[in-house]
Chains A and B, each alone.
Chain A
Amino acid sequence: MTPPPSLLTDFGDVQVPLLAAMLLGGCASKALRVVRGQSISAVLGPTVLFPVRLRQSVAVGLCIAELAFGVGLIATAGRSLGGASAELIRFGTGLLFVVATCALIELRSVRPDIGCGCFGEFSSAPITGGIVARSAGLAFAALAIVKLPPMQLPGTVNRAALVLLLLAAELAALAALSPELREVLVRIGYSEPCEYRVLGPELAVAAIQRSAQWRKHASLVVDGQPTDTWRELCWRYVVFPSRHRGRSADLVFAVYLRNRRPAVLAVLVDSATGAVLPWPSDAAAKGRRRARGPRARIASPARTHRGRRARPTPPRTYQPEGLSHFLARSRVLARVRHRGA
């Protein structure tokens, strides 16, 4: 005879799907590595407590155990396969988490530098107390429901609400204890700032050659081949050889690696002394003739291609860029390829 529903049975009903989800999620994340052609044991975790020759076998065995207990918990949750088999599966699940907790404690003291590997590559952060507490809590939950009667759907709205409340509370507790959640959120909200993007010098040179700075000072360039180029965070610097009053000079451009209207700065430097040189008057005059109005006035060595005084984002200021900039960059790339062809 099924006992009447109580808070304890509601608590137990929540544990079974949660435990199954944790086990199957752990197994799936490990299997995902195999699908991607990576070693299942490379995730490390407690497998490093074993000799090298046994690590692969232990990792595979752990994955199989997680799969078996996860499926078993779901299969024995109802009335059809309940009874002794359900108790055995739940006890086995509890035992697995107890062993895992002990292994994590040991691993934390022996190798504090590696992750638990609980959810594959998402669990690469060093083991924290939260991870150990999570494993211990799951062990407690599994052992607490060994004698639980078969699951049944909530009969009333109040009971359904209570079950949902318990589920939400437990999910929140698990999320708070899980560093993996942060990794998942990072991947979902993936956007690559310009500091991390691979952007070749050709884009910067194309931006320079489109800029008003280039139109003003191109006459100073004695060789179209840059003598040096380097990139620092979101800025790329390009140096062209130049001449100033018969002396060797360097024309330095700095381009902000942005797709729409990148800021382009320029300065003329004496090659021998490193002194900043004033722009030659004839070049400035040419620039004034080509550009119209105050936008092309040259009063300072550093100006944007639009003629206004440069207000570059300082190198220490970082601006993440979103999807629109990716799309804009694609258009720039397409234009560059078209022109190159």
Chain B
Amino acid sequence: MGCGAGNFAAKGRDQVIGTGVCCERCPGATVAVTSTIARRRLYKAAVFSPPPPSAGRGWVAHGGSATPAHLYRVVTGQIVDVSPQVLVLGDASGERRFVLTPDATAWRGGPLTPSALRPGDDVVLRLRPGSPGIADRAWANIGRVSGTILRQDDDALVVSAGATWAKAATSPQRVVVIPPHASGRIQVRFPNLRPGYLIDVIGVQRGGVLQGLIPATSQPPYRSDRVPVPQSASGRLPESITGAAIWHDSADEPHGVLGVRYPALDPSNGCAEDRAAGFPPGHAPAYRDLPYLAVGSSLLVANECTGASWTFPITGCAPVARLFNDRCLTCGTSPRGRVADLTLASFVALGGELETGCFNTTLTIGR
């Protein structure tokens, strides 16, 4: 069965086995998830407010497919040429020129001026709201590795970016090298660099290796296979959910995709990692005080630090984010841990600084 549709089997009349909508581990998941999101939104709208039959509606995903004028936009590509005023990005489709504002800043392992960027750098360029050709921020070769340490080979850490670290063959692996000058900074926040413990670092991508420079959070004291049992929820569902929003660096997703991964997908057809790890539905480590949603549900994500907000579709589960029980300290202390795992473009669009790793957020469901 393919991804996103046709993956539900019924046995007999009453026994139904839901194998679910596949998450980010399926080949070509992006196309499948996009189709799933569009269809589910349309079905939901049709059920609750059926339009006149003559109206006719197409398979168009609303919200999250375009960036509004008041939000930042993101362009990614490889630098072809750079000067203090102009930055030229190139890809297979050609070259694009962007004007840099006088106060534009850049980052490549640390803050620098945009003119210090080099041709060949892979850059994430933030465009000013409403000004598609003017950039005010650039991150060069930035990457992030968040997951469970599988093993330590000399000075390199092999990290699993899924919940199934014990069955590493089923989860993608990332390699992190911590240079000597960043070792102290990293180890203050991540004292246990032994297999089984969690790590979350931001740094510079060189080839297939991430040079870890900045700890994105503090290391939980527990191993990733011994996540404390979360508290159960009770009472009424709050109107909004507060917590921390982070970004992820996924090779499976093209840059520029707007979406959010959510830690509490419906267990019966949610997270591919849970099934691969052998968790029965509802027994995987996850927030029990977050309501269950699905791929395609809409989340209004607000950045409490900047005030920007936008509705994003849920594109998958957040298998690693839910293992952390940390707090974001970007602008005050978030009242709880990671409730939204944004794509890089979504994070920047809401005004997040990639090198800080997180911002305090408020989620509202179903707008």
**Hey, which bits of chain A sit against chain B, CB under 8 A?**
38-39, 41-42, 44, 48, 52, 55, 111-114, 121, 126, 183, 186-187, 189-193, 195-196, 198-202, 205-206, 209, 224-233, 237, 239, 250, 252, 254, 265-267, 269, 273-278, 300-302, 312, 314-316, 318, 320, 336, 339-340
Determine if A202 and B14 form an interchain contact, defined as CB atoms under 8 angstroms apart.
Answer: yes
Q: Chain B contacts of A48 at CB under 8 A? A: 221
Closest to A253 in B: B47
Task: Count chain B residues whose beta carbon lies closer than 8 angstroms to a beta carbon of A.
Answer: 69
B44→A232 contact, CB < 8 A: yes
CB pair B365–A276 under 8 Å, yes or no, is no
B5 and A193: CB pair below 8 A?
no
The answer for the CA separation of A137 and B280 in the assembled complex, in Å, is 47
Would A229 and B269 count as touching, CB distance under 8 A?
Answer: yes
A277's closest neighbor in chain B, by CB? B53
A80: min CB distance to chain B, Å: 43
**Would you call B93 an interface residue if the criterion is a C-beta within 8 Å of the partner chain's C-beta atoms?**
no
Indicate whether A273 sits within 8 Å of B58 (C-beta atoms), given known contacts A201-B268, A228-B8: yes
Decide: A126 and B18 in contact? CB cutoff 8 A. no
Q: Is the CB of B327 within 8 A of A239?
A: no
B260 to chain A, nearest CB (A): 15
Is B293 located at the chain interface by the 8 A CB criterion? yes
Q: Is the CB of B232 within 8 A of A275?
A: no
Q: How far is the CB of A119 from chain B (nearest CB, A)?
A: 14
B363 at the interface (CB under 8 A from A): no
> What are the residues of chain B within 8 A of A316 when measuring CB–CB?
365-366
Judge if B282 is at the interface, Cβ distance under 8 Å: yes
Contacts of B327 in A (CB 8 A): 112-114, 126
Q: Is the CB of A200 within 8 A of B16?
A: yes
Contact A227 B8 (CB under 8 A): yes
- The 4 A-B pairs at the shortest CB distance, nearest first, are namely A113-B327, A198-B282, A195-B291, A230-B294
- Which stretch in B35-43, B79-87, B163-171, B205-213 binds the other chain? B35-43
Alpha-carbon separation in the docked complex, A191 to B326 (Å):
26
Most chain B CB inside 10 Å of its own CB: which residue of A52, A113, A193, A254? A113
Q: How distant is A25 from chain B, measured CB to nearest CB, in Å? A: 19
Q: How far is the CB of B48 from chain A (nearest CB, A)?
A: 7
A113 to B326: give the CA distance in the assembly, Å: 7
Judge whether A252 and B43 touch: CB under 8 Å. Answer: yes
Q: In the complex, what distance in Å separates the CA atom of A274 from the CA atom of B51?
A: 11
Whether a CB of chain A sits under 8 angstroms from the CB of B181 is: no
Nearest chain-B residue to A250 (Cβ)?
A: B43
Q: Which of B14, B236, B329 contacts A193 (CB 8 A)?
A: B236
A250 to B53, CA, bound (A): 15
Q: Beyond A39-B222, A340-B14, is A113–B333 a contact (Cβ under 8 Å)?
A: yes
- On whether A267 and B10 interact (CB within 8 A), knowing A126-B333, A195-B237, A229-B269, the answer reads no
Whether A233 pairs with B50 at a CB distance below 8 angstroms is no
Residues of B within 8 A of A113 (CB): 218, 326-329, 333-334
Known A113-B326, A196-B232, A267-B46; contact A232-B297, beta-carbon cutoff 8 A:
yes
